[in-house]
A and B are shown apart, each in its own frame.
Chain A
Amino acid sequence: MDSILIAMILALLIPIYEAWQDDDIWQKMLAFASIATKTSIMMLVISVLRDDWSIGVVAVIILCVGNAGLMLLAHLIKRINET
Chain B
Amino acid sequence: MIDKYVYIIVALLPLSALMLVFQTNPYHALVIRAILGAIAALVYIVLGAADVALTEALVGTMLAVTLYVVAVRSSLVLRLGILKGDGKTNSFTELIASLRKVINRHYLRLELIEYPDFLTLKQALVEREVHAICSQQDYSEPQNQNSATGIEIEQTYHTAIRVRRLFEILQTELTLPETTLTYVSVFNREDKH
Contacts and interface: CB of A to CB of B under 8 A. Distances in A.
Contacts of A23: 28
Interface stretch (B52-60, B132-140, B144-152, B185-193): B52-60
Contacts of A6: 4-5, 8
Contacts of A59: 45
B19 interface: yes
B5 A5 contact: yes
Contacts of A57: 50
Task: Give the secondary structure class of B's interface.
Answer: helix
Nearest to B5: A5
Interface in B95-120: 109, 111
Contacts of B39: 35, 39
Contact of B62 (A5, A40, A72, A80): A72
A25 B50 contact: no
Interface in B1-53: 3-5, 8-9, 12, 15-16, 19, 27-28, 30-32, 34-35, 38-39, 41-42, 45-46, 48, 50-51, 53
Contact of A43 (B3, B8, B42): B42
Contact of B45 (A31, A36, A58): A58
A32 B28 contact: no
Given A61-B54, A72-B66, A77-B69, A25 B31 contact: yes
Q: Pick the most buried of A2, A54, A62: most chain B CB atoms within 10 A of its CB.
A: A62
Interface string A40-83: 10110011000010110111011001101110110011011001
B73 interface: yes
Given A72-B62, A73-B66, A9 B12 contact: yes
A62 B54 CA distance: 7
B8 A46 contact: no
Interface string A13-35: 00010011001010011011001
A57 to B, nearest CB: 8
Given A9-B12, A32-B38, A46-B46, A80 B73 contact: yes
Contacts of B19: 16, 19-20
B41 A55 contact: no
A62 B41 contact: yes
A28 B42 contact: no
B9 to A, nearest CB: 6
Interface string B53-95: 1100110011001100110010000000000000000000000
Q: Which 6 A-B pairs have the closest CB atoms?
A: A69-B62, A39-B42, A58-B50, A62-B57, A28-B31, A5-B5
Given A6-B5, A62-B54, A80-B69, 12 more contacts: A2-B4, A16-B15, A20-B19, A25-B28, A31-B35, A52-B50, A57-B50, A58-B54, A69-B34, A73-B30, A76-B69, A80-B27
